Structure 1
Amino acid sequence: MLETPVNHPQRKEANFGFGSYLSTLKKYRLAIFLLTTLTAVVSYFLVQSTTPVYRATAVLLIEAQQQKAVSIEEVVGIDTSKKEYYLTQFEILKSNKIAQHVIDKLDLATLPEFNGQLEDTGLLATIKAWLKSSLSTQTTLSEIQATTMLTRQEKLKRKVLATFKDKLTIAPIRNTQLVKISFESEDPILAAHIANEVGNSYIQSNLEARLSITSQTSDWLRERLDELKQQLVESEARLSNFMQQEGLIDFSGINGLASVELTELTNQLSAARDRRIAAESLSYLLNKNKSADAASLSTVSEISNHPQLRDIRLAEIDAEKRVSELSKRYGPKHDKMIQAQAQLATIQRHAKKTPDPTGQRSG
């Protein structure tokens, strides 16, 4: 059985719509071509007339801890370990002081890229200022020109500074002590030079700030030292007056102190002479009794009272006492008895060979 074909009205409408578009393109193909060509030519000239802008980036390291002989942070109370320290340094890099320093050093105000065209310049600005001031006060033309010149310079300075800061970008690198200094300019060499100079100006400003703090600290310490010296002089004067009033020192001053030291030295010399005389006397007695035995010499008071002989005599007495005590408990052949008798014999032999105070040996 044959199937009856089914009509598709939507397909016919779709074919009809595409054909209408194609016929329209063919009809207006010349106008479309001219419009496309014109657009391409205009775009080409616009691109060619646009001045290219170059971006230069310098990377700066902000050190929190620096090698130094004196800790300035202890004086001024700056904690370089906190996050606020780095945020402060970033703001300093963006400050007008750094920007103006770079502008003045590189003389950027003379470049058209930065100064542009100021409004109300020349004779027109002078006439406007004169008309404005003539309504209120009597002002000469030279004063008006001088005022206008100052106004122009101030406007130029503000305009250059604003342009400079618009082209400058400060971007810290996260979780590091590094910061990117980027600058956009029509001249790639100038852009690189300005980016580097911003970093150099920041370093110079930081060094100048630290030097200023160090100088102020040194001045403060110097003033404090002078005050302490003055207080020391006054304290010494009060102490001297007090000691004189209480009779602790005489009025001879330094000479009196020298005389006290001389007296002490004299006393020491006198004592040394006494000891020398005693030693000479003892030496005379020993030389006079060379043929005498130890028992005879011990009867001489000057010899028997000598500390060395006295110690030996005491040691001999202790040894004899020990032998006497041990003999009551042990026999003569006991080890302790033999050791005690040997110790006594050694002391007795040493007593016979005891050197005299003059360096000779007796016995």
Structure 2
Amino acid sequence: MQDTPSESFFEEKEIHLSEYLMVFMKRKALIILVFILTVLAAVFYSFFVDPVYESSARLILDNKGSSSPITGERTDYESYHSQTMSFNTSIKTIKSSPVIKEVIEALNLDAENKDLEVNFFRQWLSNLKSNIKQLLVKKDDSRLSLEEIRNRKIQALIAQVQNKITVEQIRDTRLLTISAKDKDPKLAAAIANTLTTKFMEFNLTNKMDASKQTLAWLNQELYDIRKKLEDDEQKFFEYKQESRLFSIEGKQKLTEQKIQEFNNRYLETRNKRLGLDAKINELNKNLGSLKGVANVRSLINNPIIESIYAKVVDLEIELSRLSKIYKGRHPNIVQTQTELIKTRNSLAQEIAKEKENLKSERKVLYAREKTLEKTLTEFEKEALDTSSKELKYTILQRNVDTSKNLYDLMLSRIKESNILQTANTSNIRLVETAQIPIGPVSPNKKRNILLAMVLGIFFGCGLAFFFEYMDQTVRTEEDIHQYFDQPVLSVIPKADKSVAYGGQIDFQE
């Protein structure tokens, strides 16, 4: 299928490099014009726009760890993320409205009737926008109060000052660079220095306010803890008075000592009483015969009984000797028998008396044993009663100790807070003050002109290609063959009117 002339006209063809050169040569006037206009615009901007000066100050942000207001121990840990957050927070705080407002008031920027905008295009757009609003929108400022009007002006001034300020962190350091731009070099340095000062004061003020709030909270907590400590001590004292306990440890130790002492005395008395019972039983068994009396002598250590018993033995020996010599009715035998009977009676009386003494002593020991047993029982009951009171005593004592320790801890923290509050320490220090700049930072004339030359060439070449693309004029025989695929029958020459007939003819179309 054969292409139509219109389709073949718009068919793309391969372009040779020489054709680009031909386009440049053909549109050289346009390229030169765009180049000259761009460079002139850059020169006009660079030499007629007010120069802008920049001054910088540097701060160092030391590490600041947060701690518990009660124990004083650190509640955070050092990490790259926490450091980044700390720097970002400081950067945002430096450009915050309260700090900028302090700078405006310190430098009296709100009283000076001058434009603080340093960006030419931003200033031009701002003026254009303001003029359009004045033409299209009718504002009724009569309804606004003076305070509202002043607040709007202050907010606009704060925005302008914020646009003049740049805060950057120096990589791999704790340094912050605070830069301020202005058309006045002295004002640029003053803004940078004042901003650093006001930021440090703002940071210290916030820290002092936080310390005051913490101190107020600690004082309130200290008052509550002291009141609770007094209540716990009062309850503990009343319980000791009611229970008659001066100290649970001392009471238990004293009771144990008494129980040990009375238990030893009780056992000693009981052993003595059992010993007397054994003696009395032996006496009852052995009192029926003389041999038994001999056994009694070993149970009773009595010299009288020993002497009487020795006399009885001697009389019996004498009576046995006389019985071998005399008959039974002999006066010596009768006299000896009579004396022997008296001596035996005396021995029996002494043994009976000794027995009664033993019974009396046993009775005393028995009564003492019962008394000691009763006293020991009372002490054991008291010990059990003390043990039953120990739980409540321990609870009350623990409450008092806990409240006292917490009170001492809070008191020490309050003293430390008072010391820190009066110390006026801050983790932000000024490293370098802003100096009055010698030369402007913008406009950069060399850079602007070089950039304008490059952009002028690019814009000129672009416009040249654009116009060449939009130009659809057929100029040569090759264009007819290429776009219409038709043979050329003849060429009408373009005569030059400046020459006579028969002169040189230009065959351009």
With the length of structure 1 as denominator, give the TM-score of the two structures.
Answer: 0.46
Please say which structure displays the higher CA radius of gyration.
2
More relative contact order, 1 or 2 (CA 8 Å, 6+ apart): 2
